[in-house]
Structure 1
Amino acid sequence: MTRVLVIEDDPAVRRGVSVGLRHRGHETVLVATGEEGLAELVASAPEVVLLDLMLPGMSGLETCRRIRAFSQVPIVILSARDDDVDVVVGLEAGADDYVVKPASAEVIEARMRAVLRRTGHAGPTGQPRGQYGDLLVDRIALRVLKHGEQVAMAPTELKLLLFLSAAPEQTFSRQQLLEQVWEHSFHGDYRLVDACVMRLRAKIEDDPRNPRYVQTVRGFGYRFGPL
């Protein structure tokens, strides 16, 4: 059973998501505002957050930013439009995935399970610990250190780094990364990949505009190194 914090202001959507997830064996904590969501995040210690972007008062985007300021809990955005610019901004603010509303409980659960699996996924076979310049990637402890200091990472950021660094100099397309990291088997939305790369670079690169570790292969995708 997974404890899910649902931050959604529409009572019908909130109730529908809760009923569907409870029917599938999950526990739900329901709130209608970002302010309530932040309080429940501390009080209830959920394992995953479902976050609507269009909230009264504190926006979903600001709520996402505030959650990421102190927690790496997986966040899945609930969006009424798949082309909403707020989705991109939400991903850049630290969300791990998004679901377009209306969505079935099966779809929501699948996305939840995918982001939760990232927390304990060590990527492809590789050395348990890899030292790359001033960056240490520990695949056993699932942590990353830069200049000896631990870097706080959301599950998706960590899994992306583990996956890329396990095969230095190998280039992966955005579609390959969607399938391996986000576990999306369909021709997916590359915004997920690009936003996560941007967040990852901000955390591990000395100069994110001239990345040393996560490099762009123009017209194709990304690779780790060469260093």
Structure 2
Amino acid sequence: MKTKILIADDETSITDLLSYAFQKEGYLVEVASDGEEAYQQMLQFQPDIAILDVMMPKMSGYEICQKMNTDKNIGIILLTAKNDITDKVVGIELGADDYITKPFDIREVLVRVKSILRRLPQQSLSTNETYRILDLTIDKLGRKVSIQGKHVNLTLKEFDLLTLLIEHSERVFTREELLDLVWGMDYIGGTRTVDIHIRRLRQKLGNPYDQLLQTLYGVGYKVTKLEIHNEA
């Protein structure tokens, strides 16, 4: 099955350029010219990757990102005309996996998309392991997290980050290592991205599981070992 890409921007020159480039690479592409259309395409087309302009009529890329935050199977890349770290941080906090500043080189967009896609099949098909920590269950194959049987909505990168730390409990990872292993060497975002995702994971896991994610100030992060059971 072909990988599906959604491109949403009110500038036809951008959607035409990206659509042509991705179709040439063999992807199945749909486009949207405003936020409402993009949101409907997210639900109906169910893309693997959505490239969303931040400033669109009817609904912004931020709003779509926030609405789709519970769908961890869709990678989201935001396009922004502002090279402002605040705008980028907001996007990441709302669940975006990456961001690209306009104007951009089409090769950069292709690389960013491929970077996210590389992790999807490897993460989902590599193992059928399930990790249990007290009432917390992490199903690696199904890419599901639950506490006392209640589903915990995590984004793509939140799940990947949590799984990596759980699999290597008690090992301390620097922010740079986590950025490399979860986002990839070609990701040019700063280490602040890691801090944001750790904070969001703590909020979503809640007490007492937020205490699993330990900060080693000036170094990085680790998961504290609390009766972690690995079930094949």
Q: Fold match, TM over 0.5?
A: yes
Amino acid of the residue matched to residue 113 of structure 2?
M
Q: Secondary structure at the match of 1:98?
A: strand
Q: Secondary structure at the match of 1:68?
A: coil
- Relative to structure 1, the CA distance from residue 160 to residue 13 in structure 2 (aligned partners, 3 Å threshold; closer, same or farther) is same
Q: CA deviation at 1:225?
A: 1.5
Residue 27 (structure 2) aligns with: 26
- Relative to structure 1, the CA distance from residue 64 to residue 225 in structure 2 (aligned partners, 3 Å threshold; closer, same or farther) is same
Residue 104 (structure 2) aligns with: 103
Single out whichever of 7-16 and 184-193 deviates more from structure 2.
184-193
Pairing 1:219–2:206 present = no
Q: Secondary structure at the match of 2:68?
A: helix
Residue 52 (structure 1) aligns with: 53
8 Å CA contact 1:216, 1:222 repeated in 2: yes
Q: TM-score, normalised by structure 2?
A: 0.85
Single out whichever of 75-84 and 163-172 deviates more from structure 2.
75-84
Amino acid of the residue matched to residue 225 of structure 1?
T
In the aligned structure 1, how far is the partner of 2:214 from the partner of 2:128?
21
8 Å CA contact 2:128, 2:141 repeated in 1: no
In the aligned structure 1, how far is the partner of 2:188 from the partner of 2:45?
36
Q: Secondary structure at the match of 1:212?
A: helix
Amino acid of the residue matched to residue 222 of structure 1?
Y
- Relative to structure 1, the CA distance from residue 185 to residue 104 in structure 2 (aligned partners, 3 Å threshold; closer, same or farther) is closer
Q: Secondary structure at the match of 2:190?
A: coil
- Relative to structure 1, the CA distance from residue 203 to residue 186 in structure 2 (aligned partners, 3 Å threshold; closer, same or farther) is closer
Q: CA RMSD in A?
A: 2.5
In the aligned structure 2, how far is the partner of 1:118 from the partner of 1:11?
30
In the aligned structure 1, how far is the partner of 2:73 from the partner of 2:151?
13
In the aligned structure 2, how far is the partner of 1:6 from the partner of 1:198?
29
* Runs of 5+ unmatched residues, structure 1: none
Q: Give % identity.
A: 31
Q: CA deviation at 1:176?
A: 0.5
Q: Secondary structure at the match of 2:6?
A: strand
In the aligned structure 1, how far is the partner of 2:112 from the partner of 2:172?
26
Residue 168 (structure 1) aligns with: 169
